[in-house]
Structure 1
Amino acid sequence: MAAQNFNMPALSPTMTEGNIATWKVKEGDSFVAGDVLLEIETDKAQMDVEAQDDGVLAKIIQGDGSKAVQVGSRIAVTADPGDDLSSLEIPAEDTSAPKKDAPKEAPKQESQSAPKQETTSKPAQSSSSTGASKSGGKAQKQTYPLYPSVQHLLKENGLPKEEADKIPATGPNGRLLKGDVLAYLGRIEGNYASESAKRIGKLAHLDLSNIKVAAPKETPAKKPAAALEETLPIEEITVELALPISFKAVVETQKRVQESIGVFLPISTFIARAAELANEDLPKSKTAKPSADELFNAVLGLDKVAGKKASRGHFIPQVTSLAPTTLGPARITSVKQPDIFDILGGKKPAARPAPARLVGGAERVVGPVNVFSINVPKGDEKRGQIFLQRVKSVLEAEPGRLVV
């Protein structure tokens, strides 16, 4: 049984080296395909390396924090599942892995010994055979213009443009790709493109086999009015107050004003002026938030010296006129006067009630009733009652104050 070398992978087509951040698997631990083995940092990103097959991590060559590890160099040794690590032979490192400076030194040596075109094609031919078998592409003449990235790689590594016809191409319609050149140079594995495509296709598939339809949510039962009132804030709970007010004095005042100065004042004007007058100097609301001046006075203790707390109200009464009420006939009973002969004879007759008589016809009709109502926050009932009493007092007793 022999172990296998685990080399530094190329996580992008342009990656030549990377840093090992941390190993997620320790020596002697088993792993399965898809497990994250380690994290690799590059100058662009930090990526996870997943296991392609099941195995055991036999030995870590490059530990956590290793810097500038070349792509293709050995970083660990792995074994198959079930292997005895004590009897495994650690293989030698693959010396054919490319060095960082190898591509730059090749043109210099070739310029001294042979023409540039001949010497650069020889190492490429040796690696092209392995690259073609792994990548699945085949070398063919490039009829399309080369991609700028491909031209840059060829120029950077001292390869002529004619060398592009000898590199196995995996692009559409046989076009040469940047990854093909990197595989030809040995920078990345020859099957990197196909393996990446398979992995992306696997990750792109969304498995919905274990998805279940969520059960419908139960609609909450309606709370009774009492329970709903308990959950509402105190400032949102309102109480309706009502008070009947007669317009008799208002109508009389309205007629006098029209007869004396020829001006007709509608009843709505009397109501608006009465409400304006009744809103003055009401007791302070218990639900109102204190102003900045009131808070400052409270800090200095001036709120106790100021005396009675009062504030202006903003009540607008709603007027409802009820239909006339029909009452039964009014009956007046009287006592029958005693007979004169009974009085002269000394006889004291018992008083008997006389038949009742109707007053004002068979029935009495009571005029329409005007009800003034307002909604006040809970706790301000007294404040609202004072307002309604003031409106009633002005409209029924002193409507003349509202003329001027």
Structure 2
Amino acid sequence: MATLDVGNRSSDNATEAHIHTAFRTCSQALAAHNFTMPALSPTMTEGNIASWKIKEGDSFVAGDVLLEVETDKATMDVEAQDDGKLAKIIVEDGSKGVTVGSRIGVLADTDDDLSTLKMPAEESAPKSEKKSAPPPPKEEAKSSPPAPSKSKSSSPKPAETSPSKSKPQNKKYPLYPSVEVLLHTHNIKADSVNATGPNGRLLKGDVLAFLKEIPSSAPQQLGERIAKLSHLDLSNITPAAPKSSPKEVAAKENPKIEEAVEVPVELSVPVSLSSILQVQKRMSATLGITLPLSTFIARAIALANEDLPLSSRKAPTADELFDHIVGVSKISKSSSSSKDGSFKPQIIALPDPSAGLGLAKKAAKKIDPFDAILGRGGKQNTTMKTKSKVLESLGPENVFSLSVVKGTEEEKRAKVFLERVKSLVEVEPGRLVL
């Protein structure tokens, strides 16, 4: 019977504790009860209260959001499990570092009168005492000499000297698993170890330095090294020389361009048409055929343009480029090769004293009416048809002239052309008939 009574008593105590600590607002709970900071994750030790969604005295039903809690990972809503009423808010909005299990408010039943309701005592103190109760046996075990499972470095001396100078772990962040294992294994409080990690976090090296398993200065040296390497060192870099502006570059190149400007020069040779006139009279007397003077001069220009020395600077023609791309022939770059020219000299007739002014007046009167209507009667045409008409009025003495670039091989070719024309017209007029 004694055993049965003890079991009944223990069962009753467990039931009362369950009813007292559970988050319930049913009619069985006749008094207000504390609302503690919930643990929203298995590793959560503390959190921040972002805001309360209801005010003191407001009623709520199951599923309503009571408040928002911020953790280091996310912001989550805390919902009510049963119907009830918020009797009092203990921890206001914006509070940070609220420990899990500490009282943040008081809840009551929906029908309770808050003016006469008795507020319960804070339960966080007993819980903290219960949580802090286990360490004393650990300290006794820590101070006891026979401790085969613990290393020699876990002596109480570093723990006594370090708290005065230590910088505790930032409570905003949870402990790393490796740090928690070391603290639990050696019975060390986190606040007694100097935290040298980023944002005040406690690292494994800090605990090892506290246990004197590594040099005490190693965590600080490592932190300084990481901080130094996290920034780019530009002390040994010298700035590059300033680049010149596009205007300066263009100004430097302009003299070269000015030097390459091509200056034209006019080459002229006096040519007598007396030999051609004599051949023309002989043909008319013997054969009864009169060839116009333009035919002789055109034939002389064509023969003079044949087989002229090719300029090494001359660009290849379109036909040569096409043949080179197709692979039929290669573009010749030799200056010794030759090619027909395309010179067309300008012929200026000199006045003939023996002919007088009659011929000049007659030539002046031969103007095409169509040119006179269009106002082109006084202009010099460049077509071969117009030249043939003008050539008929040429006298014995004339000047053949060409305009070429000075100082180039084209000037040499032009001189060879004019000499050939002079030789054909004055010395070899018979070749112009064949």
Q: State TM-score, norm by structure 1.
A: 0.29
**Larger strand share, 1 or 2:** 1
- Report the structure number with the largest CA radius of gyration: 2
